[in-house]
């Protein structure tokens, strides 16, 4: 089956064509480990996990590489401000190395709780300083750099395609030069490859280089590490939409200038998760983490369900109400799976009807990862009268290999389905049937009966769930 992805480079949906048959080289910008990741940061990692699982399902061998930024990311993506790691270390009274390891560990814990599989290769910037220096030397030999104010800069005017993916306007960039803040830059869009001119005394993370002791710019790490682990030309690069105009634009310029060839074939960018009050910001504090959701009694998988309920290229506004709805929907799915497990075990082979369900699901996931449609497919198979429990379970196993909601694991791990739960499910089923037949008096009767037993019914676009009141 063709897999369609929306490519930010060209701004259109394209059929995925691998560089090497049956293989996918995938690079995802990883976290800057100076603080806990917030729940917005978890959106890219969740969707990248679904992308990886989908390609694996369709038979591809996926090599997934992710960096850990533990040096060199300033508080502003455009070389302004302070080093994020150093600022955090000072504020917390810890060494920068300890800060980095502490928050890296917290990051892996979050991924695990969200059932996000680990990358094939995860690489720390501080372990790859030589690769970065090597790439800067190549850029220097090819005439793409200049030294100014003690720092090595990339000269964007030497790279004619600068800003092409981001559709940046060259004229606007030129005009921006007049208001540029870093007076060492020749062009507004130029950026630092190597800092020797540190603004901070006693900088802990510095290395020897041909340009003096110092540290790398943030952008060079992704270019250097991706080429080390995926080669100079690979299939897919992911990240949040905020990275298009600066970070990814600079990554493309450095990588293509150094290699002289096209770098990445498909750029997959996720839209932002927003709070009702606006953007969530790691550097400004006061944000929600996976731990804060767990502390409030949610399962991290409730949040995974919430994320899958929106398409990754649409903005998603977080609210406690939507997390509540996600929780009751996921719990209801687990209960339904539990009830099925009480009846049968999964069939090894799909019958014709089940194959139709699976092919609908495959079409939707291959359509630029349409996870909301895939969730709807999952709900509709659970309701399907024509499928026996064993076929339903087989389908759930296949679909959940991509969605990653751990439905079968949660259903088999928990207690046995209580007779109370089963009774409620049966009444909900009867109410659904009554509504289909437009027998609204019976459907209202069931709603009231359940409410009198302390159960509130919730109708969602994906189906009906319930909660205790
Ligand atoms: P950082 O650790 O700040 O470099 O961010 C990690 C990833 O999260 C990057 O791919 C960002 O583009 C992405 N990101 C940051 N904030 C949000 C948000 N509110 N919603 C979705 N993605 C985000
Ligand atoms: Zn990156």
The pLDDT tens digits of the residues spanning 16-38 come to 999 999 999 999 999 999 889 99
> 132 and 15 in one domain?
yes
The reply to whether ligand 1 has any atom less than 6 angstroms from the CB of 282 is yes
The answer to whether position 230 is within a domain reads yes
CATH at 410: 1.20.120.1910
Ligand 1, atom 9, lies closest to the CA of 240
227 and 337 inside one domain? no
Q: Which domain holds residue 110?
A: 4-270
- The answer to whether the CB of 44 is under 6 A from ligand 1 is yes
> Which domain-ending residue is among 370, 396, 417?
417
Cα 68 to ligand 2 centre (Å)? 9
Any idea which ligand is nearest the CA of 103?
A: 1
Residues 250 and 354 in one domain: no
Specify whether 114 is located in the same domain as 213. yes
Which tens digit of pLDDT belongs to each residue from 179-229?
Answer: 456 788 999 999 999 998 766 555 678 899 999 999 999 899 999 999 999
Biggest CA-to-CA distance, the chain: 81
Q: Let me know whether 246 and 385 are in one domain.
A: no
For the chain, the domain total comes to 2
Q: Please, which residues have CB within 8 angstroms of residue 225's CB and are 6 or more apart in sequence? A: 65, 67, 123, 125, 128, 131
24 and 156, same domain (yes or no): yes
Residues 326 and 183 in one domain: no
Ligand 1 atom with minimal separation from the 279 CA: 19
Residues in the chain predicted with pLDDT less than 50, given as ranges, are 178-179, 416-417
Q: Clarify whether residues 176 and 239 are in a common domain.
A: yes
105-158: pLDDT as tens digits: 999 999 999 999 999 999 999 999 999 999 999 999 999 999 999 999 999 999
Residue 313 CB less than 6 A away from ligand 1: no
Whether residue 315 lies inside any domain: the answer is: no
In a domain, 157, yes or no: yes
Q: Does a structural domain hold residue 116? A: yes
Q: Which atom of ligand 1 is nearest to the CA of 273?
A: 20
- Ligand 2 mean position to 250 CA, how many Å? 9
Mutate to test the pocket of ligand 1, among 74, 221, 240, 313 (most ligand atoms within 8 A of CB): 240
pLDDT, position 355:
97
Specify the pTM: 0.87
Asked if residue 367 is part of any domain, the answer here is yes
Residue 11 to residue 9: CA distance in whole angstroms? 6
Q: Indicate if 324 and 223 belong to the same structural domain.
A: no
- Reduce the DSSP state of residue 191 to 3 states and report it: strand
CA of 396 to the centre of ligand 2 (A): 35
**For ligand 1, is residue 335 a contact (CB within 6 Å)?**
no
Tell me: do 20 and 115 sit in the same domain: yes
Q: What is the pLDDT of residue 216?
A: 93
Q: Are residues 248 and 127 in the same domain?
A: yes
pLDDT at position 284 is 63
Is residue 152, in this structure, part of any structural domain at all? yes
Residue 429: helix, strand or coil by DSSP?
helix
| 168 neighbors 162 (Cβ within 8 angstroms) | yes
Q: Is the CB of 30 under 6 A from ligand 1?
A: no
Same domain as 374, residue 266? no
Phi, psi of 438 (to 5 degrees): 60, 30
Q: Confirm whether 99 is domain-assigned.
A: yes
């Amino acid at each position: 089956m063709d897999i369609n992805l929306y490519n930010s480079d060209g701004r259109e949906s394209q059929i995925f064509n691998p560089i090497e048959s049956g293989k996918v080289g995938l690079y995802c910008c990883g976290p800057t480990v100076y603080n806990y990741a917030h729940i917005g940061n978890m959106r890219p990692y969740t969707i990248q996990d679904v992308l990886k699982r989908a390609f694996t399902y369709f038979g591809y061998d996926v090599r997934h590489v992710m960096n850990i930024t533990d040096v060199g990311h300033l508080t502003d993506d455009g070389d302004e401000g302070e080093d994020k790691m150093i600022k955090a270390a000072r504020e917390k009274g810890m060494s920068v190395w300890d800060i980095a390891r502490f928050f890296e560990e917290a990051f892996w814990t979050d991924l695990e709780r969200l059932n996000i599989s680990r990358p094939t290769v995860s690489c720390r910037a501080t372990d790859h300083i030589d690769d970065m220096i090597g790439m800067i030397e190549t850029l220097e030999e090819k005439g793409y750099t200049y030294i100014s104010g003690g720092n090595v800069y990339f000269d964007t005017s030497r790279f004619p395609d600068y800003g092409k993916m981001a559709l940046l306007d060259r004229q606007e960039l030129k005009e921006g030069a007049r208001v540029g803040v870093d007076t060492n830059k020749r062009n507004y869009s130029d950026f630092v490859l190597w800092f020797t001119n540190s603004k901070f005394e006693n900088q802990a993370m510095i290395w020897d280089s041909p340009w003096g002791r110092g540290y790398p710019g943030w952008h060079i790490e992704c270019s250097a590490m991706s080429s080390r682990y995926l080669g100079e030309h690979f299939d897919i690069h992911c990240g949040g939409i905020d990275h298009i105009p600066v970070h990814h634009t600079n990554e493309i310029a450095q990588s293509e200038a150094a290699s002289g060839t096209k770098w990445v074939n498909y750029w997959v960018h996720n839209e932002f998760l927003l709070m009702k009050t606006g953007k969530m910001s790691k550097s400004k504090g006061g944000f929600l983490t996976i731990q804060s959701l767990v502390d409030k009694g949610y399962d991290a998988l409730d949040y995974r369900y919430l994320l899958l309920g929106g398409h990754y290229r649409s903005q998603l506004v977080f609210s406690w109400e939507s997390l509540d709805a996600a929780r009751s929907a996921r719990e209801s799915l687990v209960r339904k799976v539990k009830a099925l497990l009480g009846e049968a075990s999964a069939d090894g082979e799909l019958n014709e009807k089940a194959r139709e369900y699976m092919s609908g699901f495959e079409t939707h996931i291959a359509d630029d990862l349409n996870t909301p449609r895939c969730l709807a497919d999952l709900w509709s198979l659970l309701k399907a009268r024509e499928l026996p429990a064993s076929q339903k379970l087989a389908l759930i196993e296949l679909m959940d290999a991509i969605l990653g909601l751990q439905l079968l694991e949660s259903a088999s791990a928990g207690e046995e389905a209580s007779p109370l739960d089963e009774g409620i499910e049966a009444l909900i089923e009867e109410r659904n049937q009554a509504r289909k037949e437009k027998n609204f008096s019976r459907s209202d009767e069931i709603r009231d009966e359940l409410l009198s037993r302390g159960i509130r019914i919730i109708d969602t676009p994906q189906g009906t769930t319930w909660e205790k009141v």
